[in-house]
Structure 1
């Protein structure tokens, strides 16, 4: 039967992003509805609807202040019935009298009603968010700007205005902050402690704060800046303000700075600023290879290493984060031996952008080309937002995937769909995913994903293939979902669970390459050649590895041994030693 797409426009009917995402999720639960998107009628949203296959005549008539709802259904009656429920849903979206919550019609009214407040949290469409953020600054409030699609020139103007007033603008597109122990946006329940974090990335902040908590330490403050703050246009306004605030904070003893691939010029400026700081600092620039130890400044290559270095600088005697390398190697070997020769690729399905970027950087060092829309320009996916064949790392929290639907930390739908899609690909060897816990996240994400994992593996087995799954849970026992419970649920379904995102990425690479540590033998030359043991599945029993790949593996967890023999020309075939 032919599917039907219908739309409805509500003129000058504004709803914030959280209400829109919840509305989309509720519509998709109605009988016969296959896909639903509730968005404000901005040009960017209308373009995304077209890409999603939800562009129909009439959609172009919606304006930026109009509520636009589009859905695809199995038949016309189902589509019409769902649209008929819209007004009922919209009328019941807000708590009524007696709910215990207080609602103000304006920022001015809220400030009058809460005279001690000093922070405004803004989640509005980008076209309206800047105006409200400007009002908040005029009222003397710091700003946590959750909204995305805020024009760049507006961001620059807001941050300059905040700096002039001694106020911090976190965002736009800021997902996480921890201020005096209070989580804002997506945040985990972690103890207070001596480490202050500045991050352009929400899940990067979550990963580091959780690992510090697990090491027995805690966080003084974690300040988000927004993903564009370190661009040459913005110039790191919020980042440098945040460093200054933590520098002056008596409870902060160690600073951690997290960023995604800043330019070489900006990285140098940040390094100089942190070098001048009287407190020790740790920087993790995802995508920048190598490490530095130039006290008081230290630079590392992964989020786990950032947490470990900060913990040690704060006086912690905690050991290494994550599982023992031998255990990871053994688990990888057990998984790899069950794969078929044609299963050669890793597929990463992440809800966190920083977690995706970290895995992407590790995989490109170890596996070669990896398709991803999370890569910085001009390295982004040539196959579009959904990726193509081969190794793949997807940030499913990207605007393309979240248009009109809940973020994948809240709604498991997009990852369940993609898990089943990957199960159909005979070249997929291992699927990697994160489970991000905390306030604002799904109450049982592991439980919500398990049916899709079981079904995906069952489909693969029905075609004579085994499908491996590797996961990392970002959370603590104090989170409402309890990290241990989530990890145990995943392990019960045969998922390999790693203690850090970097370990999850590395063990997936090890499974994909099809080796265990006992199988490695190297020859010295312009490239390193690997001669296979029983666990190898490379054609001819040999594979070439760059020195960078070898260094990454050895520094991560692989106990490799070099055999110094004759020189090996790059990309040449070699006979077994």
Structure 2
């Protein structure tokens, strides 16, 4: 049995009404209560779910429709539910008036006047009205984030094209998460600031990737949502391309991380091509997509969120170091290793990045020799015949290092410095002496970047930190792992000049938000110090589409 009543002229957001529906459904003698605004879509939903009542036919989108399903006849239930609904609505109003005062406006122009430098419109109204509200924001020069879903594809395309034509971006529809300069938009987390910029299709992918990055000790510059359909064939990645351009123009974002479900094939090709024009490393995760090649230029492909986070963090660490290194004239990498296993791993890692094979025979300790790149194990028998192992006596390696005086095509030198009992008392000192000779002879025209890894502990006779300091004081880079060392080496020899400077969107300097819909989103923004105005929107002309169209033409 369905009892029903309509509360005229009391517009509320859908989430608040869902919560009220749950609370009222807990009442005695009630099976279930459904409370919705009287929009056409909601009326169809009420009918489809068995909550329809003839009283709802005349309700407007500004009216609340309440349907009560009971298993017993109870004529007083309407009065009881109406009173409880008033109690819940009063509680919402009281909550809205408590605490820090949230700036509010009932007209669009008033909202703009209260926050004249607003650069973002956050929309969480019913999908059938979201496009019109978003268009109003775009035509006022504001970026738009659409939390709203159920927006027609044609409207999404039109909005995103309008945004792109005007140097703006539409995040959404159905965009659950964005974090712009620390501003939490919809579902968001408190994150450390850093140099990794994230682009994601919808919500939890961004949140998990950002959280994993934070767990690894790195931070996020911005996180831009696209909406669940942006990478479909219909939409064509319009906002994805805009987001890549936005973060390319952002000096703070040194590494970009992109996460989504597999795009349409043509869209994937378009997005990857755009990524490869960027002079920054990009980690791309297309969840569930088969990966045939892990590395495509500056684009690194990941299989899982955890892997994408680890890659982004590693690349961010490398980028931080790389920005303090000179541009190298030589485009070749030389690795001179005292440890055979270290030489083998360095060769493997370099081969992976270059897309080549390692040397299968290791003749004369050569672990890799291709296209001018050379990795040698100086502990090989050919180098220790009648001579001490280079870990005991570094002379052999010093001689090989000094040969680089004439090999000016080598721009990066990779080395290991191995500590411990039995090893040279000062391996770093020997490296520094040899490197200084090479740099002095080659001059500023042929700079040589030297990257070392340390194997050993603080308790070793040579003391790890003292050896590291000796290297660093000689402008020799010390990386934590061979993987980081090889990433840095390849980054330096392939580093692209900075892209033509794109105008940096003011949005990245800090979001200033007009919020339409869920008041909780505005309160979250306000709690973090983000300027925000709550636009207390309601459907124009009581939701009468024809009358609203006439009013729009008059304006």
TM-score, length of structure 2 as denominator length: 0.53
Q: 1:12 to 1:289 in 2, by over 3 A?
A: farther
1:517-544 CA-partner distances (Å, limit 9, x unpaired) = xxxxxxxxxxxxxxxxxxxxxxxxxxxx
Structure 1 contact 142–168 (Cα < 8 Å) conserved: yes
Whether the aligned pair in 2 keeps the contact of 1:73 and 1:79 (CA below 8 Å) is: no
- Is this contact kept in 2: 1:201–1:258, CA < 8 A? no
Please list the CA deviations of residues 281-329 of structure 1 after superposition, one character each: whole Å capped at 9, or x if unmatched: 1111123123522231122222222212211211289xxxxxxxxxxxx
Relative contact order higher in (CA < 8 Å, ≥ 6 apart)? 2
* 1:249 match: 250
SS at match of 1:85: helix
| 1:313 aligned residue (299, 315, 318) | 315
CA contact (8 A) 1:144 1:170 kept: yes
Do the aligned partners of 1:5 and 1:79 also contact (CA within 8 Å) in 2? Answer: no
CA contact (8 A) 2:203 2:225 kept: yes
CA–CA separation in structure 2 for the residues paired with 1:30 and 1:86? 12
Whole-angstrom distance in 2 between the partners of 1:229 and 1:152? 10
- In structure 1, what is the equivalent of residue 218 of structure 2? 217
Structure 1 residues 65 and 128, CA, compared in 2 at 3 Å: closer, same or farther? farther
Moved more, 99-108 or 85-94: 85-94
> Aligned partners of 1:304 and 1:32: how far apart in 2?
49
Q: Secondary structure at the match of 2:102?
A: coil
Residue 425 (structure 1) aligns with: none
SS across alignment from 1:193: strand
Distance 1:88 1:270, change over 3 A: same
Structure 1 equivalent of residue 299 of structure 2: 297
1:396-445 deviations in whole A, cap 9, x for unaligned? xxxxxxxxxxx9xx9xxxxxxxxxxxxxxxxxxxxxxxxxxxx97xxxxx
* 2:169 pairs with 1:168: yes
Q: Give the corresponding residue for 2:22.
A: 25
- Where in structure 2 are the equivalents of 1:45-444 lying within 5 Å? 45-59=42-56, 62-77=59-74, 79-80=77-78, 81-95=80-94, 99=99, 100-290=101-291, 292-315=294-317
Q: Which runs of 5+ in 1 are unaligned?
A: 318-406, 411-438, 441-477, 479-577
Note the alpha carbon deviations across 1:430-480, whole angstroms, 9 max, x for none: xxxxxxxxx97xxxxxxxxxxxxxxxxxxxxxxxxxxxxxxxxxxxxx9xx
1:59: Cα distance to partner?
A: 4.7
- 1:57 CA drift (Å): 4.7
Q: Distance in 2 between matches of 1:201 and 1:316?
A: 28
Give the 3-state SS of the residue equivalent to 1:117 in structure 2. Answer: coil
3-state SS, counterpart of residue 314 of structure 1: helix
Higher mean C-alpha deviation, range 123-132 or range 170-179: 123-132
- Distance in 1 of aligned mates of 2:41 and 2:98: 38
**Are residues 62 and 232 of structure 1, via their aligned partners in 2, closer, same or farther at CA, if it must alter by over 3 Å?**
farther
CA distance in 2 between partners of 1:30 and 1:153 (Å): 43
List per-residue Cα deviations over 1:472-502 (Å, max 9, x = no partner): xxxxxx9xxxxxxxxxxxxxxxxxxxxxxxx
Shift of 1:239: 1.1
Q: 2:384 corresponds to which residue? A: none
Q: What is the CA deviation profile of residues 69-118 of structure 1, one whole-angstrom value per residue up to 9, with x for unaligned ones? A: 22334544484222342234334432465652221112321221123321
Distance change in 2, residues 1:56/1:265 (3 Å): same
Given the alignment of the two structures, is residue 14 of structure 1 paired with residue 11 of structure 2, yes or no? Answer: yes
Per the alignment, in what secondary structure is the counterpart of residue 20 of structure 1? helix
Question: 23, 33, 37: which one pairs with 1:36?
Answer: 33
Q: CA deviation at 1:238?
A: 1.1
Query: Residues 136 and 296 of structure 1: is their aligned pair in 2 closer, same or farther, counting only changes over 3 Å?
Result: same
**Which 10-residue stretch deviates more, 156-165 or 237-246?**
156-165
- Matches of 1:25 and 1:102 in 2, distance apart? 29
- Matched pairs, number: 319
Q: Distance in 2 between matches of 1:28 and 1:144?
A: 33
Cα distance in 2 for residues equivalent to 1:144 and 1:161? 14
CA distance in 1, matches of 2:57, 2:288: 39
Judged with a 3 Å threshold, the aligned counterparts in structure 2 of structure 1 residues 37 and 299 are, in CA distance, closer, same or farther, namely farther
How far apart are 1:202 and its partner, in Å? 0.4
Distance in 2 (alpha carbons) for counterparts of 1:288 and 1:59: 47
The TM-score, its normalising length taken from structure 1, stands at 0.51
The DSSP-based 3-state class of the residue aligned with 1:120 is: strand
Deviations 1:257-282 (A, max 9, x none): 11223111111111111122211111
> Following TM superposition, by how much is the alpha carbon of 1:9 offset from its aligned partner in structure 2, in angstroms?
3.2
- CA drift at 1:195: 1.0
Counterpart CA distance in 2 for 1:202 and 1:109 is 31
- Determine helix, strand or coil for the equivalent of 1:94: helix
Q: Give distance in 1, aligned partners of 2:318 and 2:65.
A: 53
RMSD: 2.8
Change (3 A) 1:287 1:5: farther
In 2, are the aligned partners of 1:217 and 1:316 still within 8 Å (CA)? no
Distance in structure 1 (CA, Å) of the matches to 2:97 and 2:12: 20
Q: C-alpha distance in 2, partners of 1:92/1:213?
A: 37
What SS class does the counterpart of residue 93 from structure 1 fall into?
helix
Matches of residues 430-469 of structure 1 in structure 2 within 5 Å? none
User: CA 1:220 to 1:12, structure 2 compared with 1: closer, same or farther past 3 Å?
Assistant: same
Distance 2:127 2:238 in 1: 20
How far apart in 2 are the matches of 1:173 and 1:107? 23
**Alpha-carbon distance in structure 2 between the residues aligned to 1:220 and 1:208:** 13
Give yes or no for contact 2:9–2:62 (8 Å, CA) kept in 1.
Answer: yes
Contact 2:240 2:271 in 1 (8 A): no
Q: Distance in 1 between matches of 2:272 and 2:49?
A: 42
Distance 2:10 2:72 in 1: 27
Contact 2:3 2:68 (8 Å CA) reproduced: yes
